[in-house]
């Protein structure tokens, strides 16, 4: 708009700290600029939570609506889903969450006009002095273009990118809803909802910077998952540590032949190309790269597959860990659940080969908040736009 850069800071201050929801009230901006912004259709404020679904296990899925009425899903998992287990610096220290305490003012609630179910605080009031611990799963696009064979979001196709404000706004809306006090409570963010963050790279990274600078969250408590978009990983490797989340790669197969079948993106960027790009990321002390592996019964869950993964990962020489995810079924998707013994044998094979491996909890299956299940909700509530596929086990 031809305005100096410091205007951006003023706006961020007004939106994230003073919680203005109308441009006309931001008096730090000149009247003519306010009029110009309004005339061009700009709006400020946080996205609205239009609907929530509560799971028996405490997982809560929210439909968060942007300015144009489109909704995406954001999943709140109290106590997390063990996805960060094995992260060496995942110490139980609330101060490590971010910069010193910056409580979101309760006035911020003014932006949320959605009907609030009585069960928001289904966990009951928090005892004095106790901090909350939760993982928040965030979407980066509406729909997804990657087309993984086992994933329901893939069936929606790609609809649109989310803006940086819409990505960060999901987080702000949910932190506010759960009365999170940044600096006291420990909230991990996982960019593992609907969409491929590295195909919406600029907006995704702008959202991370907003969340670090304006909300006070630490990038070390954020993880971004990619299906293996090599140019995105290469750009990511250039980011300053302060604004660089941890990196997770959706591997899902022990070799290119099977990965080509399960994740067609592998034909463009095969495993070796992804690993080469990952090598460029300058890891922090004790940081590891996470490799995610969705276990599909009889397809990629054999002990030989685990041995092959162990060889592959050891050869990289990178500090790694593997997060095993039992596949979440969905209608029309022709895979089967792995047997529990197969999951354990798989994990044990990796561990025996000195690859740390963890099985992620399945969270929110009863409300279709578990990974890959969320599209089903669209069929149940046809008026809603497709929700995110969120890793919420
Ligand atoms: N596009 C990004 C992030 C979203 S998918 C990525 O691919 O990494 C998040 C994770 O969920 C990925 O590891 C994906 O492999 C996994 N996933 C997708 N569908 C699933 C399903 N039905 N069951 C279990 N995990 C699934």
Cα-to-centroid distance, 363 and ligand 1 (Å): 14
Q: Taking the model in full, what pTM does it have?
A: 0.84
Residues in the chain: 393
Instruction: Calculate the CA 220 to chain-centre distance.
Output: 13
Give the mean pLDDT of 84-104.
44
Cα-to-centroid distance, 391 and ligand 1 (Å): 6
- pLDDT confidence of 374, banded at 50, 70, 90? low
Give the mean pLDDT of 18-46.
83
Least confident of 102-106, 130-134, 207-211: 102-106
Q: Residue 83, Cβ neighbours under 10 Å: how many?
A: 27
Alpha carbons 177 and 75: distance in angstroms, whole number? 12
Which residue among 135, 225, 300, 323 is best mutated to probe the pocket of ligand 1, counting the most ligand atoms within 8 A of its Cβ?
A: 225
Residues belonging to the active site = 73, 371
Nearest to 64 by CA among 188, 174, 154: 174
Quote the crossing angle between the two packed helices 303-316 and 340-352, to the nearest 10°: 30
Rounded mean pLDDT of the chain?
83
Question: What is the per-residue pLDDT across 284-305, written as a single tens digit (0 to 9) for each?
Answer: 999 999 999 999 999 999 999 9
Cα-to-centroid distance, 156 and ligand 1 (Å): 14
- pLDDT confidence of 356, banded at 50, 70, 90? very high
Q: What is the dihedral of CA 64, 70, 73, 76, to 10 degrees?
A: -10
Q: Which atom of ligand 1 approaches the CA of 153 most closely? A: 19
- Around ligand 1, the residues with Cβ closer than 6 Å are 146, 150-151, 192, 196, 225-227, 250, 252, 292, 294, 325, 327-328, 330, 371-372, 389, 391
Cα-to-centroid distance, 101 and ligand 1 (Å): 33
Contact 96, 31 (CB under 8 A): no
Instruction: Take residue 277 and report the two structure tokens written for it.
Output: 């790009």
């Amino acid at each position: 708009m031809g305005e100096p850069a410091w205007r951006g800071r003023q706006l961020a201050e007004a939106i994230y700290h003073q919680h203005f929801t109308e441009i006309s009230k931001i008096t730090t901006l000149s009247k003519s600029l306010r009029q110009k912004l309004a005339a061009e259709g700009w709006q400020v404020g946080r996205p609205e939570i239009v609907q929530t679904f509560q799971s028996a296990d405490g997982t809560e899925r929210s439909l968060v609506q942007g300015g144009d009425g489109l909704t995406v899903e954001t999943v709140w998992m109290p106590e997390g889903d063990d996805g960060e287990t094995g992260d060496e610096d995942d110490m139980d220290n609330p101060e490590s969450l971010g910069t010193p305490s910056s409580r979101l003012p309760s006035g911020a609630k003014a932006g949320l006009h959605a009907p609030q179910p009585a069960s928001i605080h289904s966990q009951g009031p928090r005892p004095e002095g106790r901090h909350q611990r939760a993982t928040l799963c965030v979407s980066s696009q509406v729909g997804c273009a990657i087309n993984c064979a086992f994933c329901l979001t893939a069936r929606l196709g790609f609809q649109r990118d989310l803006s940086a404000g819409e990505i960060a706004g999901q987080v702000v809306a949910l932190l506010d809803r759960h009365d999170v006090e940044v600096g006291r409570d420990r909230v991990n963010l996982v960019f593992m909802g609907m969409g491929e963050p590295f195909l919406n790279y600029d907006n995704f990274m702008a959202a991370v910077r907003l969340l670090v600078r304006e909300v006070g969250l630490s990038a070390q408590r954020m993880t971004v998952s990619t299906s293996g978009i090599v140019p995105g990983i290469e750009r990511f490797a250039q980011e300053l540590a302060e604004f660089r989340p941890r990196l997770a790669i959706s591997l899902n197969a022990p070799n290119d032949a099977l990965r080509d079948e399960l994740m067609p993106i592998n034909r463009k960027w095969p495993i070796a190309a992804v690993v080469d790009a990952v090598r460029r990321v300058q890891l922090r002390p004790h940081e590891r790269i996470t490799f995610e592996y969705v276990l599909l019964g009889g397809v990629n869950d054999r002990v030989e597959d685990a041995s092959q993964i162990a060889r592959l990962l050891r050869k990289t020489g990178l500090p790694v860990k593997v997060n095993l995810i039992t596949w979440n079924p969905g209608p029309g998707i022709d895979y089967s659940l792995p047997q529990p013994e197969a999951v354990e044998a798989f994990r044990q094979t990796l561990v025996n080969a000195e690859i740390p491996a963890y099985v992620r909890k399945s969270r929110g299956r009863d409300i279709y908040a578990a990974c890959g299940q969320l599209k089903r909700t669209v069929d149940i509530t046809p008026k809603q736009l497709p929700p995110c596929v969120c890793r919420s086990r």
